[in-house]
Amino acid sequence: MISVVTPVYNEEAVLPEFYRRLTAVLKAIGEPYEIILVNDGSKDSSISIMKDLCGRDACVKVVSLSRNFGHQIAISAGLDYATGDFVAIMDSDLQDPPEVLPSFFKKCAEGYEVVYAIRMNRKEWVLKKVAYSVFYRLLKKMANIDIPLDSGDFCVLSRRALDTLLSMPEKNRFLRGLRGWIGLAQTGLEYDRDKRSAGEVKYTLTKLMKLALDGFISFSY
Ligand code: UDP
Ligand code: MG
């Protein structure tokens, strides 16, 4: 059984296409699956699209948060409900292409408990690319654990890795750091990060700064 957990914040412009592409990939894999869409307090029509998908497709489950809590908390909430033997975490704006998932699951079949995605090409504006690059390299210097460079939250976890992650009491979760901290057999796979398929970016500068701070505070010695 495969679970896919996806945070959604005002993504009405991409949700139908995300669902279509992800479902095509999961059907082709041929294992039972569930798609857990986490509504992070969207103010557009995302929630009605999600409810509609849930009504039409028994594989779709919806977790709806009472307000906007942010990406990391939305993912954590979704992970609490995931029942799969393997759980994928991915964004809903199609920057994480669903088509690469089969290669992730192949690595799991080889025995890896954590397979994380390494971003090769970011199709972002230059300043943002530089900021990301500096952040990850600085964190690597300051962190007392091995946080892989340029890997975001896009990954597949085994049930054991997920249960370990969920047993941790952190509230301000920097998931990509905790994921490294738990140990187990881990490997990275490179992929080209696509452009956001539609709609505006939802990670504001303030939210990004908070994420970076959580990373530094939680993992630097
Ligand atoms: N997101 C969320 N809550 C937020 C901000 C973003 O659930 O407060 C979701 C958003 O819908 C998307 C993912 O997190 O699926 C990443 O957000 P975005 O694409 O805006 O950021 P970036 O690609 O720059 O990381
Ligand atoms: Mg994005």
Ligand 1 binding pocket includes 176 (Cβ within 6 Å)? no
pLDDT at 129: 82
pLDDT at 35: 98
Residue 124: is its pLDDT beyond 80?
Answer: no
Closest among 7, 9, 57, 12 to 36, alpha carbons compared: 7
The pTM of this model reads 0.93
Q: What is the mean pLDDT of residues 48-68?
A: 98
Interval between CA 20 and ligand 2 midpoint (Å):
18
Enumerate the β-bridge partners of residue 37: 6, 62
Q: How far apart are CA 10 and CA 8, in angstroms?
A: 6
Phi-psi region of 69 (alpha: psi -120 to 50; beta: other; left: phi over 0): alpha
For residue 186, name the pLDDT band (cuts at 50, 70, 90): very high
Residue nearest to atom 23 of ligand 1 (CA): 201
Ligand 1 binding pocket includes 68 (Cβ within 6 Å)? yes
